[in-house]
Chain A
C-alpha cells in the first residue's frame, strides 16, 4: 500500500516496502506514485534512487552494473554517479530521489526533492 507519510515542504513521500526486495549490489525497478524509478543498494552502503530509464536510449537502469556508487547502463555503458545524478560519460544529470530507511527496514522515497 502506498502511504503518503509526509507532505511538508511540498514533497511527497511513499513507502516502497522492505529493503530486502533488493539484493546487495543490485538495483530493482519500482512503481511509485505515477513514476517509474530504479532503486539501488551498492555494496559500499546506502540506498539510492534514480529515474528508471537511461537518458541515452531508455535502457533499464535497474539492470545496470554497480561499482561503488557508479552505475553503468546495461545497453551502451553510459555511466552515472548515483549520489549526484551526474552523467559521468558526457555531462548532464539524471533525476535522483532521496530514500530513507524506517526503523523496520522499509524504504521511503521522497518524490518531492529530486535533483533537476
Chain B
C-alpha cells in the first residue's frame, strides 16, 4: 500500500459509504488506502427503509446497501462496531474506543445524527440509563428492539408526529399494539404539511387505528423500574408500557467540537464539503452544515458525496455544492403523501388547491413566477412524478393549472424524458440521476435489471422502478433487451422454464439432487429446491424421486408454519359446504387438542391455528378429513356461492361445480398457488372473476371461464378464456390451463403475472383453438398427475422420514430413532 494516501472515514452510514463509493468510481482505489469506522455492527444499510423493516414489509437483509464482503472486495478496511472517540488534528490520527489508533492523511467525518431526547422527567432510571420501555428509532438494532417490545406491549406512545413518528407508529400498530402519537404542534408533520393537510392525515391515520393527540406536551415518564405511562403538561396522563421517542434529531458533531473545528448546529463546511478550518478534513451527511443549512434527508447527501469525491480525488477541484431542494415522501403503508419545498404561500404566490377530505385527498401547489416552489400531495400521487420534476428542475408550468392536479392530458412520456436534465434524480432512495441511467446504458447495460444492479436505481423502496424501466427503454432507443433471468424457473439455475423442462426430460433427471449434480456441478441452492421439487413432480409423476429435504417445511409436514414455529391445519371443505356432523367433529378435535384459535378463513373453510408439530398426525387422524392444501404452492380451494339450490338469481349450479373441480384438481402442485371459485351468476358473490381460475354462470346454462384474476397483494380482473357449455367442459378447459401453467410458468409466478406475460390471445389460441396441437398432451399429462394423487395427511400413520413430526428430540434419543426406522 506504500505510496497511497491514507483516507479514514468516520461513520459508516449512508453518507460515509456513499462518499467512498463515489471516490472509488473516480479511481480513488488507486490513490487511497481506505479505512472506515462505524459504531454499528453492520455494513451500510438503507436507513430510510427501516420503517419497512419495522412493519415487516422488508427483511433486514433486503435493505443492505454494502454487505460486509463489499468492503473486502474493494480493499477497504472496515472496523464495524468500533467508535471513534477523538481526532488528533496536529498528529493526524483518530482514536477508537478500543485503544486502537490510526493515522490519516485525509479524513471524512460522516457521523450522521442521533435522536433528540426531549427533557422529560423520569426518562432515565436510577442506573443512569434510559428506563426499560423507552425506545428511539434510528438504527437496525432500534428497529429490532421496538419490534420485540411491541409484540408483548398492550399500548405504546410515540412522542413526535413527524415523518419518523408516524412511520414508527404504523410499524408498532402491526404488532397488534394500541398506539398513541403525541404531537406538540397543532397538526401532524408540521415540517412538511399545512394545517388542512395535517387534519386529513390525522383522520387517515386514525382510520388505520393510530390514536393521535395534538397540542400535547409530554413532561414526564411514569413508572419506577420501567415505563408505565406518560404525563402531560395539561395534567393528563396516558398509561402505556412503551414509549418511542421520535422528536427530532441532533447532529453528531462532538468530534468536531473536541478537535477545534468550527461547529454551529453541525460541523461547518465550505462548498467543497471541507471543514472551513482544516483542508484535510471533509464532512458529509447530517453532521455537516452547509451555508447555514443542515439536511435530514438522503437526497442532499448524494449530491454532497459527489462533490466531495470530485474534490478529494482531484477529478474536479472546482466541484462545488450549492445546497439542495427538499422533497420527501411518507412511507407509511396505506398513506400516500409527498411534500416538497415551501409549505405556506406568501401573499404574492399563486395557490392551486384541491381538497376532498372524505376520501383523504388533498393537493396544494404553490406557484411563484410560473414555477413550482412547493407542493403537498396527499391521498393521490398520480401527478407526483411530474410535479417532482417540475419542482427540482424549475420547469415552466402548463398554463391550465388544473392539469397540474389531475391527469386530464398526461404530459407524454418521451418528450418529458427528452426535457429532463441529466442531473434529475430518479431514484431518491439511492440517489441515481437520469444521467447515471444513461451512462449505464451506454456502458452496455441493455435491461432494466442490469441498469438497476449497476446503478442501484429502484432497489430501495421500489417506487421509481416503473420510471427506471421506461428510461432504460428510452435510452436504449428500441435496443432494450429482455432480462433473461425473469424467465428462469428458479434463481439457482439459469434456464427458462421450457428449456429446464426439456433438459430434465432429456437427461432423465428425477430428483432435485440429480438436477444440481448435472446442471450446476453439484452446487445446491437452497431457495431453488422447493421449485425444482414441484417441477419434477409435475414432469415425472410417480417416477419422481421424492427427496424431502428439497421441500419447504410446510410441504414436509403438510401444514403451514406460524410465527412461533407451530402449524395451522385446514381440512378440505369442498365448495364451502359442510355438515353439522363435520362441524361437531372439528369442534371436538379442536377442544381435545386445545387448539388456540379456530377461524373461518377467507377461502371458505376452517383453520385450526397454533398446533404443535408433534400433534399434527394425531389431529389429522381424529379429524378424518383430507388435507385442504392450504400450505402449499398448489391447487388450494374452489370457493363457491350457493348457486341454483337456494339463490333466486342462480343460473348455474356453482356449488356442485366447485365440488367437482375440487375433487379433480385437489393437491396438484403448481408454480404458484391456485385459488379458484365458481359463481352462479354474474353477481359474482364468490369473487370468481378475481381468482386464478373462475367459472361464472351466464344465461343459457353456460359458464364463462376467467383466468389470471387476483385480489390479493395484486388486484386484477381475470380474462375470459372461453365460454363452456357444461361442467365437463369447464373442467376440461380449466385442466388445460392448469397444466400449461404448470409447465411454463416460473416458480412462484402467480397466474395473474403468467397470463399477462403470455397474453390471453395466445392462451386462447393454444388452449381453446389448439393451434399448436398440444391440447391432448396437456390433458394426458394432467390426468397422470391426478391419478397419482394421495392425500398427504395419510402420512400421519406412516411417517416418511425419521422424526418427521418431532419438534424436539430428547437427550440421547435412541428410542425415538428406533421407532422412526
Q: Is B544 an interface residue (CB 8 A)?
A: no
A30 to B548, CA, bound (A): 20
Point out the residue from B45, B526, B807, B812 that lies within 8 Å of A29, measured CB to CB: B807
Point out the residue from B41, B64, B803 that lies within 8 Å of A28, measured CB to CB: B803
Question: B802, A70: Cβ atoms under 8 Å?
Answer: no
CB within 8 Å of B: which of A1-49? 1-3, 14-18, 20-26, 28-33, 36, 43-44
Point out the residue from B41, B67, B524, B563 that lies within 8 Å of A75, measured CB to CB: B563
User: What string of 1s and 0s marks CB contacts (under 8 Å) between B786-814 and chain A?
Assistant: 00000000000000011100111111111
A58 to B114, CA, bound (A): 29
Question: A29, B806: Cβ atoms under 8 Å?
Answer: yes
A23 to B816, CA, bound (A): 13
CB-defined contacts of B808 to chain A, threshold 8 Å? 29-31, 36
CB-defined contacts of A78 to chain B, threshold 8 Å? 59-61
User: What string of 1s and 0s marks CB contacts (under 8 Å) between B505-539 and chain A?
Assistant: 00000000100000000111111111000000000
Secondary structure class of chain A's binding surface, majority of residues:
loop
- A: residues with CB less than 8 A from B are 1-3, 14-18, 20-26, 28-33, 36, 43-44, 56-60, 63-68, 70-72, 74-79, 89-92
- Give the Cβ gap from B610 to chain A, nearest Cβ, in Å: 14
Point out the residue from B43, B565, B816 that lies within 8 Å of A60, measured CB to CB: B565
Which residue of A24, A59, A91 has the most chain B CB atoms within 10 A of its CB atom? A91
Q: Is B454 an interface residue (CB 8 A)?
A: no
Q: Is B206 an interface residue (CB 8 A)?
A: no
Q: Do A43 and B803 contact each other (CB < 8 Å), given the known contacts A18-B817, A31-B808?
A: no
Question: A77, B812: Cβ atoms under 8 Å?
Answer: no
Q: Do A65 and B527 contact each other (CB < 8 Å), given the known contacts A16-B812, A30-B809, A43-B513?
A: yes
Which residue of A18, A57, A65 has the most chain B CB atoms within 10 A of its CB atom? A65
- Give the Cβ gap from A43 to chain B, nearest Cβ, in Å: 6
CB-defined contacts of B810 to chain A, threshold 8 Å? 31
Q: Do A31 and B809 contact each other (CB < 8 Å), given the known contacts A57-B563, A90-B61, A91-B42?
A: yes
CB-defined contacts of B814 to chain A, threshold 8 Å? 17-18
CB within 8 Å of A: which of B534-557? 547-550, 552-553, 556
Q: Is B776 an interface residue (CB 8 A)?
A: no
Question: A65, B529: Cβ atoms under 8 Å?
Answer: yes
Q: Do A21 and B525 contact each other (CB < 8 Å), given the known contacts A2-B812, A90-B60, A92-B41?
A: no
Question: A17, B813: Cβ atoms under 8 Å?
Answer: yes
Q: Do A23 and B60 contact each other (CB < 8 Å), given the known contacts A28-B809, A91-B68?
A: no
Listed from nearest, the 5 A-B pairs whose CB atoms lie closest are: A25-B549, A67-B526, A89-B61, A23-B801, A60-B565
Question: A1, B811: Cβ atoms under 8 Å?
Answer: yes
Query: Chain B: which residue is nearest A27 at the CB level?
Result: B549
CB within 8 Å of A: which of B542-584? 547-550, 552-553, 556, 561, 563-565
Q: Is B821 an interface residue (CB 8 A)?
A: yes
A72 to B525, CA, bound (A): 10
Q: Do A67 and B524 contact each other (CB < 8 Å), given the known contacts A25-B547, A31-B809?
A: yes
CB-defined contacts of A58 to chain B, threshold 8 Å? 564-565
Q: List 13 A-B contacts (CB under 8 A).
A: A17-B816, A18-B814, A21-B802, A22-B803, A25-B513, A30-B811, A30-B813, A65-B529, A67-B524, A68-B526, A70-B526, A89-B59, A89-B64
A32 to B67, CA, bound (A): 34
Question: B809, A21: Cβ atoms under 8 Å?
Answer: yes
CB-defined contacts of A91 to chain B, threshold 8 Å? 41-43, 67-68, 80
- Give the Cβ gap from B520 to chain A, nearest Cβ, in Å: 10
Q: Do A15 and B801 contact each other (CB < 8 Å), given the known contacts A63-B565, A64-B553?
A: no
Q: Is B820 an interface residue (CB 8 A)?
A: yes
Query: Chain B: which residue is nearest A65 at the CB level?
Result: B526
Query: Chain A: which residue is nearest B821 at the CB level?
Result: A20
CB-defined contacts of A32 to chain B, threshold 8 Å? 811
CB-defined contacts of A28 to chain B, threshold 8 Å? 802-803, 806, 809
Q: 16 other contacts beyond A89-B59, A89-B61, with CB at 8 A cut-off?
A: A16-B812, A21-B803, A26-B801, A28-B806, A29-B806, A57-B563, A59-B565, A63-B565, A65-B526, A65-B530, A65-B549, A68-B524, A74-B552, A79-B61, A90-B61, A91-B43
CB-defined contacts of A59 to chain B, threshold 8 Å? 565
Query: Chain B: which residue is nearest A3 at the CB level?
Result: B812
A91 to B67, CA, bound (A): 8
A59 to B561, CA, bound (A): 10
Which residue of A28, A56, A64, A90 has the most chain B CB atoms within 10 A of its CB atom? A90
Query: Chain B: which residue is nearest A74 at the CB level?
Result: B553
CB-defined contacts of A76 to chain B, threshold 8 Å? 59
Q: Do A21 and B552 contact each other (CB < 8 Å), given the known contacts A70-B526, A91-B43, A91-B80?
A: no
Point out the residue from A43, A60, A68, A90 that lies within 8 Å of B64, measured CB to CB: A90
A65 to B42, CA, bound (A): 25
CB-defined contacts of A33 to chain B, threshold 8 Å? 811
Q: Do A63 and B809 contact each other (CB < 8 Å), given the known contacts A57-B563, A91-B41?
A: no
A90 to B613, CA, bound (A): 30
CB within 8 Å of A: which of B322-381? none
- Give the Cβ gap from B812 to chain A, nearest Cβ, in Å: 5
A82 to B262, CA, bound (A): 50
CB-defined contacts of B45 to chain A, threshold 8 Å? 90
CB-defined contacts of A44 to chain B, threshold 8 Å? 522, 524
Question: B817, A17: Cβ atoms under 8 Å?
Answer: yes
CB within 8 Å of A: which of B229-245? none
CB-defined contacts of B561 to chain A, threshold 8 Å? 60, 63, 74-75
Question: B550, A25: Cβ atoms under 8 Å?
Answer: yes
- Give the Cβ gap from A17 to chain B, nearest Cβ, in Å: 5
Which residue of B42, B564, B811 has the most chain A CB atoms within 10 A of its CB atom? B811
Question: B548, A15: Cβ atoms under 8 Å?
Answer: no
CB-defined contacts of B821 to chain A, threshold 8 Å? 20
CB-defined contacts of A79 to chain B, threshold 8 Å? 61, 526
A76 to B553, CA, bound (A): 13
User: What string of 1s and 0s marks CB contacts (under 8 Å) between B485-503 and chain A?
Assistant: 0000000100000000000
CB-defined contacts of B61 to chain A, threshold 8 Å? 78-79, 89-90
Point out the residue from B525, B549, B807, B817 that lies within 8 Å of A26, measured CB to CB: B549
A38 to B809, CA, bound (A): 10
Query: Chain B: which residue is nearest A107 at the CB level?
Result: B812
Which residue of A16, A26, A32, A64 has the most chain B CB atoms within 10 A of its CB atom? A26
CB-defined contacts of B527 to chain A, threshold 8 Å? 65, 67, 72, 77
Question: B549, A23: Cβ atoms under 8 Å?
Answer: yes
Query: Chain A: which residue is nearest B525 at the CB level?
Result: A67
Point out the residue from B140, B802, B811 that lies within 8 Å of A14, measured CB to CB: B811
Query: Chain A: which residue is nearest B40 at the CB level?
Result: A91
CB within 8 Å of A: which of B21-80? 41-43, 45, 59-61, 64, 67-68, 80
A91 to B806, CA, bound (A): 31
Question: B802, A67: Cβ atoms under 8 Å?
Answer: no
Point out the residue from A1, A67, A74, A75 that lies within 8 Å of B812, measured CB to CB: A1
Q: Do A21 and B817 contact each other (CB < 8 Å), given the known contacts A1-B812, A59-B565, A92-B41?
A: yes
A107 to B522, CA, bound (A): 26
- Give the Cβ gap from B76 to chain A, nearest Cβ, in Å: 15
Query: Chain A: which residue is nearest B59 at the CB level?
Result: A76
A14 to B42, CA, bound (A): 34
CB-defined contacts of B528 to chain A, threshold 8 Å? 67
CB-defined contacts of A36 to chain B, threshold 8 Å? 808
- Give the Cβ gap from A102 to chain B, nearest Cβ, in Å: 12
Q: Do A67 and B817 contact each other (CB < 8 Å), given the known contacts A23-B801, A29-B806?
A: no
CB-defined contacts of B147 to chain A, threshold 8 Å? 57
A75 to B702, CA, bound (A): 44
A72 to B548, CA, bound (A): 15
